């Protein structure tokens, strides 16, 4: 089968555009442009592998083509992939299959997947660089007839999750609160973002900065239950935020003025600045360093051994950050 893809990386927006383009091309080549394909979505550990095997093996009674999305494919066991591989060999349907993962490499992908996906059908969608992200934001507003200040662009880039879906959602929502022709300033962005109800690693950082364990647990559960972001992405966001807090703490230790210390740490926006200054009061320089080490240990384990941890251990992680400042014995990491 030629229409099997392995799509890796955290950049969800470009991945989504790629999928749309490939589907349209395949349907056109098969002279099925007017057909609405059957859609099957599979999540390892949430559904039985036999359901996926049945979807691959059983021809649709009403549709000549089926699109199958296999999400979090790095979690598929090698034994299950052998079943999938066997069912594909015996298949007579027209299928389009997308193996999807947020992983940025093939290290955790089963060899059976790599075996059945041709090299030219394997694509990694990397996160945008800081400059590319800023250009994307500026271009988004200018294409819609809005002017945006440079510091407003920087604030969006620093606060919104780094993928084009999250950026587009936040920028589109921002458009709903500004008048046509209005210049978008840092203050407008600042007011909008911190009154938005969307939860992310960045809103989680805010409650961690406040040392509010109960709220932090609640936000983390909402993020994970939404299905939009996994724990590894949340931890990556927290590492980035704590590294910014580390820069701020070092600058303030050097006796830099508050405004200069914030600017040199690339921290923008009134509300955003207040949150970091509160975090600075609640966590000493050494505690911030310890928390970064702690988060990086978890991040390394998730990248090398597994991609998820239980909800109990997620809660315990927040307890360790807020109450223990990352000062934890090694036995916790052996439980992950």
Residues 133 and 120 in one domain: no
In the prediction, which pLDDT does 204 show?
Answer: 93
pLDDT band per the 50, 70, 90 thresholds, residue 330: low
- Decide if pLDDT at 28 tops 70: yes
pLDDT for 108: 82
d(Cα 88, Cα 56) in Å, to the nearest integer?
A: 7
**What pLDDT is recorded for position 208?**
97
Q: Choose the final residue of a domain: 139, 166, 197.
A: 197
Examine the domain organization and report whether 88 and 209 are in the same domain. no
> Which residue, among 220, 219, 185, 194, has the nearest Cα to 272 in the 3D structure?
194
The number of folded domains in the chain is 3
Q: Which two tokens stand for residue 239?
A: 């590492």
Task: Specify the pLDDT at position 165.
Answer: 81
Verify that 36 and 19 share a domain, yes or no: yes
pLDDT for residue 303? 64
Q: Is residue 180 pLDDT above 90, yes or no?
A: no
Does residue 131 sit in the same domain as residue 92? no
65-74, 126-135, 305-314 — which is least confidently predicted? 305-314
What is the value of pTM for the model shown?
A: 0.60
Contact between residue 77 and residue 52 where contact means Cβ atoms under 8 Å apart: no
Strand order in the sheet with 38-42: 38-42, 65-70, 94-100, 4-8, 122-124
DSSP element (H, E) containing 86: helix 78-89
Token pair, residue 159, equals 């606060």
266 shares a domain with 187: no
Instruction: Count helices and strands (H / E) in the chain.
Output: 16, 7
Last residue of a domain, one of 124, 141, 159: 124
- Among the listed residues 235, 221, 251, the one whose alpha carbon sits nearest the alpha carbon of residue 291: 235
- pLDDT computed for residue 277 by the predictor: 96
pLDDT score of 77: 85
- Percent of the chain whose pLDDT exceeds 90: 39
Q: How many CB atoms lie within 10 A of CB 94?
A: 20
Same domain, 336 and 222: yes
Structure tokens at 38: 């059957």
- As a whole number of angstroms, the distance between CA 301 and CA 235 comes to 12
- Whether residue 106 sits in one domain with residue 135: no
Supply the pLDDT for residue 161.
75
Mean pLDDT of 179-196: 83
pLDDT at residue 13, as a whole number: 85
Task: Name which of 2, 1, 19, 3 is nearest 11 in CA terms.
Answer: 19
Do residue 100 and residue 206 come from a single domain? no
pLDDT in the model for residue 20: 93
- Only one residue has tokens 């921002």, namely 174
Domain boundaries, position 169: 127-197
Residue 118 sits in the same domain as residue 159: no
Residues 228 and 279 in one domain: yes
Q: Are residues 316 and 279 in the same domain?
A: yes
User: Which CATH number goes with the domain that contains 43?
Assistant: 3.40.50.300
Tell me which of 107-116, 165-174, 182-191, 325-334 is least confident.
325-334
pLDDT in tens, 204-256: 999 999 999 999 999 999 888 887 777 887 888 899 899 999 999 999 999 99
Q: Supply the CATH number for residue 192's domain.
A: 1.10.8.60
CATH of the domain at 247: 1.20.272.10
Q: Which one of 188-202, 287-301, 319-333 scores highest in mean pLDDT? A: 287-301
pLDDT for 256: 94
Nearest to 157 by CA among 23, 2, 272: 272
**Alpha helices by DSSP H, 283-310:** 285-304
Mean pLDDT for the chain overall: 86
- In sequence order, what are the residues at sequence separation of 6 or more whose Cβ sits closer than 8 angstroms to the Cβ of residue 270? 187, 190
Instruction: Indicate if 214 and 289 belong to the same structural domain.
Output: yes
pLDDT at 332: 60
- Over the stretch 129-142, which tens digit does the pLDDT of each residue have? 888 999 999 999 99
pLDDT above 90: residue 149: yes
**What's the pLDDT tens digit per position in 73-111?**
988 888 899 899 888 887 656 899 999 998 888 888 888
State yes or no: pLDDT of 305 exceeds 70. Answer: no
Domain end among 124, 154, 184: 124
């Amino acid at each position: 089968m030629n229409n099997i893809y392995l799509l890796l990386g955290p950049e969800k927006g470009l991945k989504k555009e790629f999928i749309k383009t490939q589907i349209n091309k395949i349907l056109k080549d098969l002279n099925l442009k007017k057909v609405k394909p059957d859609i099957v979505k599979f999540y390892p550990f949430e559904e039985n592998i036999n359901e996926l095997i049945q979807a691959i093996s059983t021809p649709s009674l009403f549709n000549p083509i089926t699109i199958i999305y296999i999400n979090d494919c790095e979690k598929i066991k090698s034994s299950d992939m052998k079943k999938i591989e066997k069912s594909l060999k015996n298949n007579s349907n027209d299928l389009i299959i997308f193996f999807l993962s947020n992983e940025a490499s093939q290290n955790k992908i089963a060899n059976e997947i790599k075996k059945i996906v041709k090299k030219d059908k394997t694509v990694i969608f990397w996160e945008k660089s800081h400059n590319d992200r800023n250009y994307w934001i500026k271009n988004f507003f200018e294409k819609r007839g809005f002017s945006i200040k440079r510091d407003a662009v920087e604030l969006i880039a620093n606060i919104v999750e780094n993928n084009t879906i999250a950026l587009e959602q936040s920028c589109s929502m921002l458009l709903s609160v500004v008048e046509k022709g209005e210049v978008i300033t840092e203050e407008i962005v600042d007011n909008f973002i911190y009154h938005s109800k969307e939860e992310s690693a960045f809103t989680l950082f805010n409650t961690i900065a406040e040392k509010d364990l109960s709220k932090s647990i609640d936000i983390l559960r909402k993020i994970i239950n939404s299905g939009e972001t996994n724990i590894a992405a949340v931890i990556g966001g927290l590492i980035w935020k704590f590294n910014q807090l580390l820069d701020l703490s070092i600058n303030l230790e050097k006796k830099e003025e508050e405004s200069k210390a914030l600017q040199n740490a690339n921290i923008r926006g009134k509300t955003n600045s207040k949150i970091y200054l509160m975090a600075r009061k609640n966590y000493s320089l050494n505690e911030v360093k310890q928390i970064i080490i702690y988060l990086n240990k978890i991040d390394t384990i998730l990248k090398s051994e597994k991609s998820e941890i239980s909800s109990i251990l997620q809660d315990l992680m927040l307890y360790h950050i807020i109450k223990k400042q990352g000062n934890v014995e090694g036995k916790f990491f052996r439980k992950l």
